[in-house]
Each structure stands twice: as C-alpha cells, then as structure tokens.
C-alpha cells in the first residue's frame, strides 16, 4: 500500500471520461460506429479529454481471400471539459510521498527496537562489544575488549600464535589508558608523564596459555592495573572464549618509568601517581611470580644459536625502540625445530634487561633444560637469551615450557604404513 501511494503521487492517472452518448445510426439501427468488422464491440479510448474512434469498412475479397483494410482513423468529439495540463498541476503530491517515507522509517525503527529486546542465543557474544572498541566495566577498574582471530594471525597449526595473543594484550593496555582519559601524546603515557618526557617500559612478562584460539574465534580480553612496589606498576590480563567463557590465557607484567631523553629509569612522580592510582585494583597477581634462578647461558652452554638478527623499521614503536612483542619471535628463532613442530608453547617468561635500538645486531641462544633427550618426554623446558652479537649486553632472558600437540599424539605421520604397500 505504501509503494502504491508513493507511485500514485508521482504519476497521477486521469480517470476515464464517460461516453459522449453520440450514436451513429446504421443499417440495423444500432451503434455501428463502435462495432468492428468482426462483430466485436470496440471501446472508445480517451486520453486527456481526446476520444478516438476507428471507422472500419467491410473487408474486400481478393481471389476469394478476405483481406482487412483500415481506411484510417477518425477523430472527433474533442472534449474541453478537463483543465489544461500545466507545469504546476503536473507536480506530484509531495504530502503523500512524505507520508509514505515517514511510514517506512517508523516501521524500520519499530523492527530495530524489537530486535534489541529479543533474547540473545547462547552462541552469541556474551558481551556487548560488537565492533571491538572495548569499554570499561567492573565499576571502572577493568577494561574489556573483544577480538576476532583473523586468517593472517594463525600459523601452520591453524591456531593463533603467541605473538598474536601478546599483541592483543598490548592493544588492550593502550586502549585502557585511552578510555580512562589518561592518554597524552605519547605511547600510553599520561599527560603528566608527557610533560616530564616519561614513558612506560616493561621489565617482566609472564604468559600462560591453556588453549590457543583458532581462525574465526572471538576472544574477550580483560585487563586491570595494580601497584607493584614503590616505583612499579603491575598489569594483568585474562583472555576468555566469548562463546563458552573458557579461560584461554592468563598474563601478568611489571612496568617501570623511563626518561625518553636520558633513557634511564625514573621514579614515579607524585603528579603521575595521582593520575593513575585511582585505577589500581587491590588484588594479587593472576599468575604467581616465576622467580626460578637459571644457570648462565652463553655460546658454550647453548644447544642452538641463531646470529645476525636485526630489527626492521616496522619493528620499532613510537618510543624508537623495538616493540616488546618482537622479542618473542627472535627468541623462538633459536628454538629446536623438532620442539616447534611437535610441541606447542604452554608458557613463557620474559625478563627485559635493556633496550634494543634500530641499529642493533642480535644473537638468539637456546638451551634445553635436561638435554636433547628431553624432547621425547611429555614436556620440554627451554632457557633463552637474546643479546647483542659479539658477547654484548643482555637484551632479554626467557624461559619457555612446551607441551605435546594434540595432533601429534601419533608422533609422526610418516610412521603410518604406505597405502601402496
């Protein structure tokens, strides 16, 4: 009905004019003027007051075949009763068009409101963050953001890599500061920190992965901050599966302040502490601190060494040092290939010692705790060191724990008998 009304308003249709009542007397005393040669009564057509009649004669015969002949068109009875067509009276009825548009919008709004109140299915997102912008929850102490695992974030195992998860951790940390209104012109720095050329630097990161998400999964990341000692801050994360609520990853980190000019550590100024302490949560770390002391690792005690690692321009952040997530990839460069192919990373602990700049050349060292024979056991523990090449200073020290992959419970597919045999 709405479409009909809108169409009628744009294209008005004139009503048919009544018969003029003029009759043409004929041989049989009837109205022969409206009867064609086949005996079928034809209707007078009118268009804008103009009536058109056809005048037909009996068909002639040629060689015994009857041929229809039309003598022509005869027009008469031009009616002048209707008003002449002008530009003004040709315009559509805009009031009807506006009424139709209003009706459509009201119906669409009603449907939208009905969708908002519908009960959500269990397989839908458990949190209202459909666009992944994130929001602050838990009375302003926790920042929550959803991420969809993209095809370019998964590896050969069809699961997200540990670097992908750590990128999500870093993104939520920065968005937390931004949504709290504390983001200055620096990379996660508050306004008071920017005035003093200060920025945050991570000193320790611990990540425990219970299960890696796969392509298409939507994960929910929660993060919060707490005090850690006198001049440190702790940030924790919790990653869940949005559909099931299953905990996938837990992570905890410690942060200190560094001066952008002197590149030295700095105490937390009182003005900065006033800015951030209102967001501190009084809770214990989500992961117990890993304080295991490991033996010294160098080129003589390492089982695998990878040299000549250099940062690219894309590896630097806005503070002109290598992004801390990049270190994970460099550490795994020297991991034994049988471990990478047959095991998955269950946990990683990183201790950041110094900055890595764009001109640095690095060396990655890995030692298997327990020797090479530990690869065949139920799990593998590794010790890692990332340092400047040529026996230079330590950049990152790390420890990793690996567990067998589920798909590798049969060890190696090459052990299965060949079908051709």
User: pLDDT tens per residue, the chain (421 residues)?
Assistant: 444 444 444 444 444 444 444 444 444 444 444 444 344 444 444 444 444 444 444 445 545 555 444 444 444 444 445 556 665 566 666 777 788 888 887 877 766 655 544 444 444 444 556 666 889 998 889 999 999 999 999 988 899 999 999 999 999 999 999 888 887 766 678 899 999 999 899 999 999 999 999 999 999 999 999 999 888 999 999 999 999 999 999 999 999 999 988 989 999 999 999 999 999 999 999 998 888 888 889 989 999 999 999 998 988 887 777 888 899 999 999 999 999 999 999 999 999 998 888 889 999 999 998 765 556 567 899 999 999 997 779 999 999 999 998 643 433 333 333 333 3
pLDDT of residue 15: 45
Distance CA 170, CA 237 (A): 10
Say if CB 56 and CB 70 are below 8 A apart: yes
Please tell me the distance from the alpha carbon of residue 55 to that of residue 166, in angstroms, as a whole number.
Answer: 91
The Cα 242–Cα 392 span in angstroms is: 45
User: Residue by residue, what is the 3-state secondary structure of the chain?
Assistant: CHHHHHHHHHCCCCCCCCCCCCCCECCCCCEHHHECCCCCECCCEEECCEEEEEEECCCEEECCEEECCEEEEEECCCCCCCCCCCHHHHCCCHHHHHHHHHHHHHHHHHHHHHHHCCCCCCCCCCCCCCCCCCEEECCCCEEEEEEECCHHHECCCCEECHHHHHHHHHHHHHHHHHHCCCCCCCCCCCHHHHHCCEEEEEEEEEEEECCCCECCCEEEEEEEEEEECCCEEEEEEEEEECCCCCEEEEEEEEEEEEECCCCCEECCCHHHHHHHHHHECCCCCCCCCCCCCCCCCCCCCCCEEEEEECCCHHHECCCCCECCCHHHHHHHHCCCHHHHHHEEEEEEEEEECCCCCCCCCEEEEEEECCCHHHHHCCCEEEEEEEEECCCCCEEEEEEEEEEECHHHCCCCHHHCCCCCC
Q: Closest Cα to residue 301, out of 369, 400, 349, 376?
A: 369
pLDDT at residue 84, as a whole number: 64
Per-residue model confidence (pLDDT) at position 387: 94
The predicted structure's pLDDT at residue 41:
43
Residues belonging to the active site: 319, 321, 356
Q: How far apart are CA 301 and CA 295, in angstroms?
A: 9
Q: Per the confidence metrics, is the pTM higher than 0.75?
A: no
pLDDT score recorded for residue 60:
52
- Residue 2: its H or E element: helix 2-10
Which pLDDT does position 19 carry in this prediction? 45
- pLDDT given at position 270: 93
């Amino acid at each position: 009905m709405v479409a009909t009304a809108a169409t009628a308003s744009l294209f008005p249709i004139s009503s048919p004019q009544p018969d003029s009542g003029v009759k043409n007397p004929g041989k049989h005393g009837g109205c022969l003027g409206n009867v064609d040669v086949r005996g079928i009564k034809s209707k007078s057509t009118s268009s804008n007051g103009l009536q058109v009649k056809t005048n037909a004669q009996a068909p002639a015969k040629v060689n015994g075949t009857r041929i229809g002949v039309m003598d022509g068109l005869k027009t008469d009875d031009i009616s002048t009763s209707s008003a002449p067509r002008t530009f003004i009276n040709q315009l559509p009825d805009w009031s009807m068009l506006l009424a139709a548009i209003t009706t459509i919008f009201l119906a669409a709004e009603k449907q939208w409101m009905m969708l908002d109140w519908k009960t959500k299915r269990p397989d839908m997102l458990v949190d209202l963050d459909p666009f992944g912008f994130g929001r602050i929850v838990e009375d302003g102490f926790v920042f929550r953001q959803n991420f969809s695992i993209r095809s370019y974030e998964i590896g050969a195992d069809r699961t997200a890599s540990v670097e992908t998860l750590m990128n999500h951790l870093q993104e939520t940390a920065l968005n937390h500061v931004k949504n709290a209104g504390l983001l200055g012109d620096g990379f996660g720095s508050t306004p008071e920190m920017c005035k003093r050329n200060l920025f945050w630097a991570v000193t320790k990161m611990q990540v425990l992965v219970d299960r890696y998400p796969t392509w298409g999964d939507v994960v929910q990341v929660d993060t919060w901050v707490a005090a850690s000692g006198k001049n440190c801050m702790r940030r924790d994360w919790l990653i869940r599966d949005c559909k099931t609520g299953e905990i996938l990853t837990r992570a905890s980190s410690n942060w200190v302040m560094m001066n952008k000019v002197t590149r030295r550590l700095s105490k937390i100024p009182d003005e900065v502490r006033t800015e951030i302490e209102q967001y501190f949560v009084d809770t214990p770390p989500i992961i117990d601190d890993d304080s295991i002391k490991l033996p010294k690792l160098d080129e003589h005690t390492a089982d695998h060494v990878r040299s000549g690692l250099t940062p690219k321009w894309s590896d630097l952040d806005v503070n002109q040092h290598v992004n801390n997530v990049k270190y994970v990839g460099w550490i795994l460069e020297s991991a034994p290939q049988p471990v990478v192919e047959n095991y998955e990373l269950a946990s990683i602990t990183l201790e950041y010692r110094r900055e890595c700049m764009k001109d640095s050349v690095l060396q990655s060292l890995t030692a298997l705790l327990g020797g090479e024979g530990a690869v065949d056991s139920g799990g593998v523990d590794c010790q890692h060191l990332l340092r400047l090449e040529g026996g230079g200073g330590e950049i990152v020290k790390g420890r990793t724990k690996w567990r067998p992959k589920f798909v590798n419970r049969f060890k190696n597919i090459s052990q299965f008998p060949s079908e051709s045999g």
